[in-house]
Amino acid sequence: MRVLVTGATGFLGGVVARELAASGHEVVGVGRDAVRGSALGEAGVRFAALELRDAAGLTGLIAGADAVVHSAARSTLWGRWADFYADNVEVSAAVARACAGAGVRLVHISTPSVYNATGLTHNIPESTPLGPPQSPHFDSLYARSKYLAELEVQAAYPEATLLRPRGIYGPGDTSILPRLALALRAGRLPRLDGRGEVHTELTHVRNVSEAVRLALLRPAPGLFNITDGVTIPIWATLDRLADALAVPRPTRQANPRVLEAVARVLEGVYALHPRRPEPPLTASGVRLLTRGMTLDLTRARQRLGYAPVVHPDQGLEEAIGAVAHA
- Asked if residue 182 has pLDDT above 80, the reply is yes
- Asked if residue 134 has pLDDT above 90, the reply is no
Task: Tell me which DSSP letter residue 105 carries.
Answer: E
pTM: 0.93
- Asked if residue 78 has pLDDT above 80, the reply is no
Integer Cα distance of 6 and 40 in angstroms = 13
What pLDDT score does 321 carry? 93
Integer Cα distance of 279 and 266 in angstroms = 6
What pLDDT score does 286 carry? 79
pLDDT in tens, 291-325: 889 999 999 999 999 999 999 999 999 999 999 98
What pLDDT score does 204 carry? 97
Integer Cα distance of 170 and 174 in angstroms = 9
pLDDT in tens, 88-110: 999 999 999 999 999 999 999 99
Integer Cα distance of 144 and 134 in angstroms = 8
Active-site choice (142, 147, 157, 169): 142
What pLDDT score does 138 carry? 80
- Asked if residue 50 has pLDDT above 90, the reply is no
Cα torsion 72, 77, 81, 83: sign = negative
Domains and CATH numbers, the chain: 2-166+205-227+293-309 (3.40.50.720)
- Asked if residue 190 has pLDDT above 70, the reply is yes
β-pairing verdict for 199-200 and 232-233 = antiparallel
β-pairing verdict for 67-70 and 105-109 = parallel
Q: Per residue in 311-321, is it b (16+ CB within 10 Å) or e — as a string? A: ebeebbeebbe
Beta bridge partners of 69: 5, 107
Q: Which of 48-57, 125-134, 258-267 has maximum average pLDDT?
A: 48-57
Confidence grade of residue 37 (pLDDT, cut at 50, 70, 90): confident
- Asked if residue 185 has pLDDT above 60, the reply is yes
- Asked if residue 136 has pLDDT above 60, the reply is no
Mean pLDDT computed over 102-129: 93
Confidence grade of residue 6 (pLDDT, cut at 50, 70, 90): very high
Would residue 147 show up in a list of annotated catalytic residues for this protein? no
How many Cα neighbours within 13 Å face the side chain of 40? 33
**Taking all residues of the chain, what is their mean pLDDT, rounded to a whole number?**
90
CB atoms inside a 10 Å sphere around CB 238: 22
What pLDDT score does 137 carry? 66
